[in-house]
Amino acid sequence: MNVVVLGAGSWGTAVACLLRDNGHDVVLAARDHDQVAVINETGRNPRYATGADLRGIAAAAIDAAPIAGAELVVLAVPSRVFGEVASSLPGDSPILSLTKGLDPATGARLSTLVRGRPVAVLSGPNIADEIVRGLPAAAVVASDDLELAVRLQVAVHSALFRVYVSDDIAGVELCAAAKNVIALAAGGADGLSLGDNAKAALVARGLAEMRRLAESAGARPDTFAGLAGMGDLIVTCWAPTGRNRRAGELVARGATAEEAATEIGQVVEGLTTAPVMRDLAHRLGIELPITEGVCAVLEGTPLTDLVTSLMRRAPTTE
């Protein structure tokens, strides 16, 4: 296929490599013209996934990328601009979303912002730097259009990147958004040195929150035990390089959310998603105590107060 990947961050760069390695013609599009020039001149991304060999991948500025003639458009852009970018694309070729978040303006799942063309999402425990180093990984591609999901599975699947198919796009998207918020809390536990018992309990209860949220939106329970649910949650909460976990750790050690994002130097989706997910839970009438707590900390509540309040919640059944 002729593929355009919009967004030359770490994950967009990694997926561009996966597609190139499977024989597709890939254009990697970035906003920064200097970044585009360096990629074309050196075969390396100067900012993200710097170890990736990009030879055989053409780089282009987003406003000059051959989107109209692409057979597949891959969106690896921040959630805050996803709807704007998706609605401005020419043509009617399918979209594969790599973005893990919710629309900040409406709380909607990002795939629902795509109009007039098929859409699928790719999610799972996928640390970009490991993938560009050739380490084995797995993911799930989800779509309401099962035929499209299977075609994309074939397009991306390899001996090092195993891809499964799902038709539970709501569950996959909500897991992908929620796990970043739980990872902020897990990073906070690391920053306070609360220990592995506390962190494991937090992650397990975080998975329960993810399930409660997604089931209220009609998702299937088995999605949460899979790659998009438990798999992605585990790696996001434990990987040392995970942006959301690292942001939570920095906040626990005294940084503001803005300072943490600046130090990390990449988009930290959990910081955007947390208040959106809290508001969505209020509309759905469900309890997400960890998410509520993360929002309270981001708004100024001391993290130690959050730990105390969570531990003092009334005991209940699991």
**Would you state the pLDDT for residue 215?**
85
User: How far apart are the C-alpha atoms of 65 and 76, rounded to whole Å?
Assistant: 14
State the catalytic residue, choosing from 109, 151, 179, 243: 179
Which two tokens mark 303? Answer: 């993290």
**Buried/exposed 14-29: b ≥16 CB within 10 Å, e otherwise:** bbbbbbbbbebbbbbb
Pairing of strands 95-97, 58-61: unpaired
Q: Which amino acid is at 101?
A: G
- What pTM was estimated for this model as a whole? 0.93
Cβ(313)–Cβ(289) below 8 Å: yes
Residue ranges of the chain with per-residue pLDDT less than 70: none
User: How far apart are the C-alpha atoms of 124 and 85, rounded to whole Å?
Assistant: 23
**Would you state the pLDDT for residue 304?**
84
**Would you state the pLDDT for residue 316?**
77
**Would you state the pLDDT for residue 270?**
96
Q: Residue 50: name the closest of 232, 265, 268 by CA.
A: 265
Which two tokens mark 191? Answer: 């920053």
Q: Is the dihedral of CA 17, 156, 22, 66 positive or negative?
A: negative
**Would you state the pLDDT for residue 272?**
95
Active site residue 179: yes
Counting Cα atoms < 13 Å in the Cβ hemisphere of 99 gives: 34
Cβ(54)–Cβ(43) below 8 Å: yes
**Would you state the pLDDT for residue 11?**
96
